[in-house]
Structure 1
């Protein structure tokens, strides 16, 4: 059996975690997940924290769960995303944790590393659909072969294409999206249609969004911008041909006027508005951004492909939420019952209505595919999803003064690609070294 591109990176990361993580223990007790009736007979309240950015999906889920039985009452508390990690860490130190946390999957590892979450390995293994769950989500909460989270919803990056503009430009979507050269040619031909039409768009001044939609081009080349095991990681930027070619691609988009000039200052506050206006050929983004409050006729004229690498391959950012039970949870049994409910097919099938993608690949029945075609490529190609396994993601990719955004802007807008990569290498190494001392 061959290993997929994303699988190669994921297996390397998991092996590193197993070898590189020091033993650590929590001051909070772990619930007995093997106790009789665990996850089936609990009573009382279940305190659940969720991210404010994904609150809409959880609100309907909670209402449905509370109406489905009379033993448990889920109490939902949304936490602003920028405060989530700090508030959860504070709750753990105060020994007053919620029963379940719905957390950004990229942050799962921060707490797994500190032994703050309950081992769910055996519970997940007992699910009859365990092999259909998003491997990217699971990888971000797996250490030493043990799993400390179950996926709930996916928020994946992909390439959304306006087929109207492709047809006007005489382009075939599949042929035009195979690698970076074909994307650049397609962007030129679409822009040549004239007026305010552009081939591509991107939020050039928002670090988090760029991390979400730009990195997959590198992963599709079977490499990452970080190398090594957690605890001994360094940057993999300088000398990385995939990174250099990616930056050259974005530089050409900018210099050749294939993107709107507003991209220079775009902080993602109006991300997708130009695509929704019908004047953009391709937008790397997510399902919610492209489809929310969009003309249904444009949605119907949109098609999706995974993001290609410099010479082919496909990848996407495996974002979204994991559900984790903190050690010390007062009602861990009720928490698992709610998590299990969230994974049932009716609840998973409804996720696109809130702007998200299911984490169970077996959701993709013919009926589901007909209703939600734009979520299918990541859902049906889960092994191509990936997210970096590092304790330093936020410092590198989500800080406005971090090395990621600094590199992109210097390379794309100033044209100093080699210097930008060298500077980023220093920044990556410094942040990763600080996290490991």
Structure 2
């Protein structure tokens, strides 16, 4: 996440009221009327958006036209369009921003439409929660990415570990990392993003959830970062860094070289995005194992990330736009577009399908969706993702400074930011 997003928030707040007033619905007799439906997305999800559109267009009169914008320009583009009452028929966004966009009225209320779907109870619950504001549904899942433990099976074997036996708790994770680190040379036991707010939210929070704890209250207005579970997770990673088991580069990793570190084949085990399984193995000469992220003594969870999508508040083709959204949640789209393309289906009942069943690791990844969470907070970006956020100050202190003071002070600062 980039600091520029914060600068657009004020603009969104100003223009949201203007956006809400013009939600004229489609007057077409059929939701598949032959309309041209505009869909905006950020560059990060351009490929899946276009894959959905191509498949839908091939079997419908409606035609979905996808426009992708550079990640750093996208929020400002949405703000400008809202102010001009010219939002696209559909727009997607990082799911953590869904509460903000929903609260500002930039998406139409789809509560009744979503509630009528036969698969509504099988759609990624964490994403549905984030697309809900004051009991109303405004967005549905568009893409899914989750956090998991990835481990180098070759290094496990060299270290005398069973490559087919993944750690089931954080103590076992730490022991495995130490065993691999003893191989010496340029090999390290683990790796983490020690200077990356989003990275640590994505990979460390699931250990708190797996242990039965949380980092915020239910409505995302109060921080619990100094709670027992979060403190224990930081203490474990801090110790691994101090022992030299975590690669030295972990301290300054801000995100850009995180994937490369794992692709090098020199890291034993580390939490990472599930989508990296294929990216790493495309170029790697080693095999990867996959395990859920666990708590200190067990349990498993994941950060259910990705993008949410809703109907633009100023759309003149809302019926046709919903026809497309409903189709994307169906079996055909989720299996023949998402699963076939090695993505994670947004439906809990499609974790095992004809494409994933050949790889137990993919089935495992897919099955975690119903066990994970997506953080819910209106002021998420400024609080956690921005490089100048209070979260970065808190976790940097917890990992490399005065841990207790950093987390106690951090909880106060984070709560103040969340309530803005």
Indicate whether the TM-score tops 0.5. Answer: yes
SS in 2 for 1:312: coil
Change (3 A) 1:161 1:31: farther
Residues 317-356 of structure 1: matches in 2 within 5 Å? Answer: 317-349=303-335, 350-351=337-338, 356=343
Q: Which structure's residues are more often strand, by fraction?
A: 1
Partner of 2:270: 283
Cα deviation, 1:330-351, whole Å, max 9, x if unaligned, reads 2112212222332333432343
CA distance in 1, matches of 2:412, 2:134: 30
Q: Secondary structure at the match of 1:421?
A: helix
Q: How many residues end up aligned between the 2 structures?
A: 403
Q: 1:298 to 1:132 in 2, by over 3 A?
A: farther
Higher mean alpha-carbon deviation, 403-412 vs 286-295, is at: 286-295
Q: Superposition RMSD on alpha carbons, in Å?
A: 2.5
Secondary structure, aligned partner of 1:77: strand
What SS does the aligned partner of 1:357 have?
coil
Alignment of 1:113-124 (within 5 A): 113-124=103-114
Pick aligned residue for 1:375 from 362, 376, 388: 362
Q: Compare 174-183 and 248-257 and name the one that shifted more.
A: 174-183
Question: CA separation of 1:109/1:193 partners in 2, compared to 1, >3 Å: closer, same or farther?
Answer: same
Q: Is the 8 A contact 1:162 1:303 kept in 2?
A: yes
Shift of 1:81: 2.8
Q: Secondary structure at the match of 2:388?
A: coil
Residue 350 of structure 2 corresponds to 363
Match of 1:58 among 12, 26, 49: 49
CA distance in 2, matches of 1:380, 1:328: 37
Q: 1:308 aligns with which of 294, 297, 303?
A: 294
Consecutive unaligned residues in structure 1, runs of 5 or more:
1-23
* Superimposed CA distance per residue, residues 89-133 of structure 1 (whole angstroms, 9 cap, x where no aligned partner): 332222111000122111111121123322222222333322221
Partner of 2:225: 237
Match of 2:32?
A: 41
- What is the CA-CA distance between 1:291 and the residue it aligns to? 2.1
Q: What is the match of residue 12 of structure 2? A: none
Offset from partner CA, 1:157-201 (integer Å, 9 cap, x none):
111122222233333468652222221111111111222222211
Assess if the C-alpha contact under 8 Å between 1:42 and 1:333 holds in 2: no
1:413 matched residue in structure 2? 400
Q: CA deviation at 1:292?
A: 1.6
TM-score with structure 2 setting the length: 0.87
Give 2:239's aligned residue.
252
- 1:391 deviates by 0.9
When normalised by structure 1's length, the TM-score is 0.84
Q: Which residue of 2 aligns with 1:213?
A: 203
Counterpart-to-counterpart distance in 1, 2:283 and 2:75:
37
Aligned equivalents of 1:57, 1:247: Cα separation in 2: 35
Asked whether 1:131 is paired with 2:124, we answer: no
Q: Tell me the distance in 2 between the aligned counterparts of 1:258 and 1:281.
A: 10
